[in-house]
């Protein structure tokens, strides 16, 4: 098994350590076929993407040769309606739209969003488990409303009905991410991998590297794939199996 794609990387545009060029050089050195940069989106509390940085990043990507680079963004789901924090113009320009649940999201809290963001973000596993159905509905709304390409670290700090979300992902041509950093701490991910496969899910690998020395490193994902007998024709970023992402140009939120 050879990992020749990595579809979740952070750069200096958010909280990553390296530039696009430095990541690209490392990807070339490792003879990878494609990578995606997916910096944190607009409401992340610490370092995040902006319209200006996004434009500059596109220019930087256009100036790099030797490896295919997708410009993505890692969106935060910010409320009970499944709203994400990426302006329409950026969604339309992004090559890859990745969504996930994150703590430390700055926003004007709506009454119910406290439950989603704070309970999942900061309360105990026991409290979070009570939100499984609630969280699942929110993820399904996000998938319905936006041209999502990848669901990042599903289940990490935010319990969901894996099979139900995976089924919707399969229907909407969305990849479920195998995230090197979080594959083992997403509660229930391993127990539900069979159910996700049965639901028709396809998977994509992402290191979630914030430094170039972690780019393309998939020790945990590799072991996971072997242990759980995941059919490799369902896994993108491995053995030349490359993902395709939605054409989002002209996309406009109709709500
Ligand atoms: Zn993330
Ligand atoms: Zn990330």
Q: What is the pLDDT at residue 255?
A: 52
For ligand 2, the distance from its centroid to the CA atom of residue 168, given in whole angstroms, is: 22
For ligand 1, the distance from its centroid to the CA atom of residue 153, given in whole angstroms, is: 7
The second-level CATH assignment, the architecture, of 5-236 is Alpha-Beta Barrel (3.20)
Among candidates 214, 161, 207, 164, which has minimal Cα distance to 188? Answer: 161
The rounded Cα 206 to chain-centroid distance in angstroms is: 8
100 versus 185: the higher-pLDDT residue is 100
Tokens standing for 100?
């996930």
Q: What is the pLDDT at residue 163?
A: 98
Q: What is the pLDDT at residue 253?
A: 75
For ligand 2, the distance from its centroid to the CA atom of residue 9, given in whole angstroms, is: 7
For ligand 2, the distance from its centroid to the CA atom of residue 61, given in whole angstroms, is: 19
For ligand 1, the distance from its centroid to the CA atom of residue 155, given in whole angstroms, is: 11
Residues facing residue 179 across a β-bridge = 206
For ligand 1, the distance from its centroid to the CA atom of residue 111, given in whole angstroms, is: 24
Instruction: Give the number of the ligand closest to the Cα of residue 73.
Output: 2
Residues at Cβ < 5 Å from ligand 1 ion: 100
Q: Is 207 left (phi over 0), alpha (psi -120 to 50) or beta?
A: alpha
Q: How confident is the model at residue 254 (pLDDT cuts 50, 70, 90)?
A: low
Q: How confident is the model at residue 244 (pLDDT cuts 50, 70, 90)?
A: very high
Mean pLDDT of the chain: 94
Write the CB contacts of 50 (distance below 8 Å, at least 6 apart in sequence): 42
Strand ranges for 19-142 from DSSP E: 34-40, 68-76, 96-100
For ligand 1, the distance from its centroid to the CA atom of residue 6, given in whole angstroms, is: 14
**What is the average pLDDT across 229-253?**
95
Q: How far apart are CA 203 and CA 174, in angstroms?
A: 9
For ligand 2, the distance from its centroid to the CA atom of residue 206, given in whole angstroms, is: 9
Instruction: Give the number of the ligand closest to the Cα of residue 76.
Output: 1
For ligand 1, the distance from its centroid to the CA atom of residue 208, given in whole angstroms, is: 7
For ligand 1, the distance from its centroid to the CA atom of residue 182, given in whole angstroms, is: 9
The helix or strand, by DSSP H or E, that contains position 206, with its residue range, turns out to be strand 202-206
Instruction: Give the number of the ligand closest to the Cα of residue 38.
Output: 2
Under 8 Å between Cβ of 24 and 67: yes
From residue 95, alpha-carbon distances to 44, 60, 98, 224 in Å are 20, 14, 10, 28
Q: What is the pLDDT at residue 45?
A: 76
Tell the burial category of 121 from Cβ atoms under 10 Å away from its Cβ (0-12, 13-18, 19+): middle
Instruction: Give the number of the ligand closest to the Cα of residue 209.
Output: 2
Write the CB contacts of 1 (distance below 8 Å, at least 6 apart in sequence): 222, 225, 226, 232, 238, 239
**What is the average pLDDT across 12-37?**
96
């Amino acid at each position: 098994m050879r990992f020749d794609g990595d579809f979740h990387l952070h750069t200096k545009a958010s909280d990553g350590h390296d530039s696009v060029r430095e990541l690209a050089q490392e990807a070339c050195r490792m003879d990878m076929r494609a990578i995606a940069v997916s910096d944190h989106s607009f409401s992340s509390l610490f370092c995040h993407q902006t319209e200006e940085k996004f434009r500059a990043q596109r220019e930087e990507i256009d100036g790099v040769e030797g490896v295919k680079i997708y410009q993505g963004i890692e969106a935060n789901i910010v409320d009970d309606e499944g709203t994400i924090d990426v302006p329409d113009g950026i969604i339309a320009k992004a090559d890859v739209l990745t969504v996930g649940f994150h703590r430390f999201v700055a926003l004007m809290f709506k009454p119910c969003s406290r439950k989603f963001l704070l309970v999942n973000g900061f309360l105990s596993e026991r409290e979070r488990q009570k939100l499984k159905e609630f969280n699942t509905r929110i993820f399904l709304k996000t998938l319905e409303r936006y041209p999502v390409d990848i669901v990042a670290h599903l289940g990490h700090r935010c319990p969901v009905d894996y099979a139900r979300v995976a089924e919707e992902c399969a229907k909407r041509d969305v990849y479920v991410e195998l995230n090197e950093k979080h594959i083992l701490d997403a509660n229930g991910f391993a127990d539900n991998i069979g159910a996700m496969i049965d639901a028709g899910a396809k998977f994509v690998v992402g290191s979630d590297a914030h430094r170039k020395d972690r780019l393309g490193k998939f020790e945990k994902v590799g072991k996971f794939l072997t242990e759980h007998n995941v059919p490799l024709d369902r896994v993108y970023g491995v053995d030349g199996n490359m993902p395709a992402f939605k054409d989002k140009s002209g996309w406009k939120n109709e709500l």
